[in-house]
Amino acid sequence: MPVITTNDLKNGMTLELDSELYQVVEFQHVKPGKGHAFVRTTLRGLQNGVVVDRTFRAGEKVERAIIDKRSMQLLYRDGNDYVFMDSESFDQISIEPQTLGDSVNYLAEQSEAQMLMFGSEIVGVELPAAVELKIAETEPGVQGDRVSGARKPATLETGLVVQVPLFVEPNEQVKIDTRTGEYLSRV
């Protein structure tokens, strides 16, 4: 693995520290009036999602982890597992829901996602900013009940429950923001 100094850190960079993978969320170079310079960082664990604050000496060497992004398509669910196909090699891989985390709420069959891989291990999923999903179940809007901004719960095809406007009906396609989990528009 390539070794870099803490002076070369950038947001989004992945590091291997103590046999764990961490992504740099934020960093700050600090040069106090007295003493040596240091780098204050906020790191998020890729395997467990834990956020930690860590301070390094300026110029300290750390190992950078090489993360490979592969485009994969969700084919189907096999019991609890999700079966994906690599878009380039057409290899199929079965992935546990714990590995995918909250992204399972936005993955419908035949949808594409970028898998973050460290060697042959999947360490995360990168979703598009918005996905189109079908409404599986929602209450019908009542005629005359058109209060501006009124919302009702709707269950999507993935099982995620979101608040949608009263005019949205079952079996409609809607656009959902994957960062916040909120309804954006009808498709």
With a cut of 70, say whether residue 146 has pLDDT above it: no
Q: How many domains would you assign to the chain?
A: 3
The whole-number pLDDT of residue 42 equals: 93
With a cut of 80, say whether residue 17 has pLDDT above it: yes
Regarding whether 154 and 117 lie in a shared domain, the answer is no
The whole-number pLDDT of residue 26 equals: 92
With a cut of 90, say whether residue 41 has pLDDT above it: yes
In percent, the amount of the chain with pLDDT more than 90 equals 25
The whole-number pLDDT of residue 143 equals: 62
With a cut of 90, say whether residue 142 has pLDDT above it: no
Of 109, 126, 143, at which residue does a domain stop? Answer: 126
- How many other C-beta atoms are found inside a 10 Å radius of the C-beta of residue 93? 17
**CATH number for the domain harbouring residue 40:** 2.30.30.30
The arithmetic mean of pLDDT across residues 106-135, rounded, is: 87
Q: Which domain holds residue 176?
A: 130-186
The whole-number pLDDT of residue 95 equals: 87
Q: Are 112 and 72 in contact (CB under 8 A)?
A: yes
pLDDT interval class at 49 (50, 70, 90) = confident
In percent, the amount of the chain with pLDDT more than 70 equals 95
The DSSP string of the chain is --EEEGGG--TT-EEEETTEEEEEEEEEEE--SSS--EEEEEEEETTT--EEEEEEETT-EEEEP--EEEEEEEEEEETTEEEEEETTT--EEEE-HHHHGGGGGG--TT-EEEEEEETTEEEEEE--SEEEEEEEEEPPPPTT---TT-EEEEEETTS-EEEEETT--TT-EEEEETTT--EEEE-
Mean pLDDT for the chain? 87
The whole-number pLDDT of residue 134 equals: 92
Regarding whether 120 and 171 lie in a shared domain, the answer is no
Both tokens assigned to 123: 């360490």
The arithmetic mean of pLDDT across residues 127-132, rounded, is: 89
The DSSP string of 68-95 is EEEEEEEEEEETTEEEEEETTT--EEEE
Regarding whether 164 and 117 lie in a shared domain, the answer is no
Nearest to 117, CA basis, from 83, 72, 74: 72
The arithmetic mean of pLDDT across residues 72-86, rounded, is: 89
Regarding whether 53 and 7 lie in a shared domain, the answer is yes
The whole-number pLDDT of residue 40 equals: 93
Of 92, 126, 160, at which residue does a domain stop? Answer: 126
pLDDT digits (tens, 9 = 90+) for 153-177: 999 998 889 998 888 888 999 999 9
**CATH number for the domain harbouring residue 169:** 2.40.50.140
Regarding whether 82 and 32 lie in a shared domain, the answer is no
Of 20, 43, 64, at which residue does a domain stop? Answer: 64
Regarding whether 139 and 105 lie in a shared domain, the answer is no
For residue 170, what are the contacts with CB-CB under 8 A and spacing of at least 6?
A: 135, 136, 137, 138
Regarding whether 58 and 72 lie in a shared domain, the answer is no
Regarding whether 119 and 80 lie in a shared domain, the answer is yes
